């Protein structure tokens, strides 16, 4: 029964000598396992009748009947329990099993494949997020290192500029001091030169030319040139002593 990939099973009472898909005595219900939860539609009273008549369920049918409470109802009926007690016990049994199987769901191959793909996508997303975080941390550290290097370089340039400025100021100050000292020295030399006494100038006395005498007086005239150098030397000596005094 059913169709491809959508099975639907019939629960029937059949002669044990009949083939599996042969003639049956009575149709007792339907079982569709792929629904969530599995669909079970049974004729409980007729099932209990055939079980009381000695019918032997297959393993699969016994599991279905046990889950639906039919086997419990059969056991209590054999014990002579009242129908109300049987109905209450069956209902309690179904409720307990429903709570137990509530967290269990049947999954097909497609569902498992979908779950596997979802898990792989989740893992890939987490890995990509982790790699992005690591890359962001590395970029932040590199950016911080670059900014620190730039700050250090800027501070070094400022310090070098301040040192150069200070050295230039000291050089300018030294040059100004030297210039001032040289100027003061020059001014002092000028003042000293201005205050120094004038030096005496030694000049040769003018020569006195006398008219030539007559021939009779020629010997006296020849004697005069020999006395002139002595007079000049005496005059120079007197001028030098005067200058020193």
* pLDDT tens-digit readout, 146-185: 999 999 999 999 999 998 988 888 888 888 888 888 888 8
The residue among 49, 76, 106 that closes a domain is 106
Give the H or E element holding residue 150.
helix 109-195
Structural domain for 87, as ranges: 2-106
CATH no. for residue 61?
3.30.1320.10
**Euclidean distance between CA atoms 23 and 9, whole angstroms:** 15
Say which residue the tokens 């049987």 belong to.
Answer: 86
Q: DSSP H helical segments within 83-108, as ranges?
A: 83-100
29-43, 102-116, 212-226: range with highest mean pLDDT: 29-43
> 35-39, 67-71, 90-94, 114-118 — which is least confidently predicted?
35-39
Helix (H) / strand (E) containing 228? helix 218-244
Does any domain span residue 176?
yes
Both 113 and 73 in one domain: the answer is: no
Q: How many domains does the chain have?
A: 2
> Can you tell me the distance from the alpha carbon of 113 to that of 24, in angstroms, rounded to the nearest whole number?
40
Number of Cβ within 10 Å of residue 221's Cβ equals: 13
Residue 13: its H or E element: strand 9-13
**Under a CB-based contact definition with an 8 Å cutoff, are residues 29 and 47 in contact?**
yes
Other beta carbons within 10 angstroms of residue 65's beta carbon come to: 24
CA distance 199 to 240: 10
- Through-space distance between the first and last CA atoms of the chain, rounded to whole angstroms: 161
Q: Using alpha carbons, select from 51, 47, 50, 8 the residue that is nearest to residue 30.
A: 8
pLDDT digits (tens, 9 = 90+) for 112-131: 888 889 999 999 999 999 99
Asked if 18 and 89 sit in the same domain, the reply is: yes
For the question of whether the overall pTM of this predicted structure is more than 0.75, the answer is no
Residue 28 inside a domain? The answer is yes
User: Is 89 part of any domain?
Assistant: yes
101 and 111 both lie in a single domain: no
Q: Does 9 share its domain with 100?
A: yes
Is residue 95 domain-shared with residue 124, that is, in the same domain?
no
What gap in Å lies between CA 41 and CA 35, rounded to an integer?
13
């Amino acid at each position: 029964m059913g169709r491809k990939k959508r099975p639907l099973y019939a629960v029937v009472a059949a002669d044990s000598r009949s083939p599996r898909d042969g003639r049956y005595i009575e149709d007792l219900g339907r079982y569709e396992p792929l629904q969530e939860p599995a669909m079970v539609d049974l004729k409980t009273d007729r099932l209990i009748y055939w079980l009381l008549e000695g019918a032997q369920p297959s393993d699969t049918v016994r599991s279905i009947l046990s889950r639906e409470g039919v086997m419990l109802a059969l056991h209590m009926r054999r014990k002579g329990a009242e129908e109300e007690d049987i109905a209450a016990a069956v209902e309690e049994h179904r409720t307990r099993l429903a709570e137990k199987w509530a967290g269990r769901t049947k999954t097909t191959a497609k569902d498992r494949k979908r779950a596997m793909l979802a898990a792989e996508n989740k893992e890939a997303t987490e890995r990509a997020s982790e790699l992005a975080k690591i890359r962001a941390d590395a970029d932040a550290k590199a950016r911080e290192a670059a900014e620190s290097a730039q700050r250090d370089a800027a501070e070094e340039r400022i310090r070098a500029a301040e040192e150069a400025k200070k050295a230039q100021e000291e050089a300018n100050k030294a040059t100004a001091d030297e210039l001032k000292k040289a100027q003061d020295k020059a001014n002092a030399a000028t003042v000293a030169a201005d205050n120094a006494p004038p030096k005496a100038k030694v000049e040769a006395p003018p020569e006195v030319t006398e008219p030539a005498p007559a021939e009779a007086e020629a010997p006296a005239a020849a004697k005069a040139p020999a006395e002139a150098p002595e007079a000049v030397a005496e005059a120079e000596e007197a001028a030098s002593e005067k200058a020193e005094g």
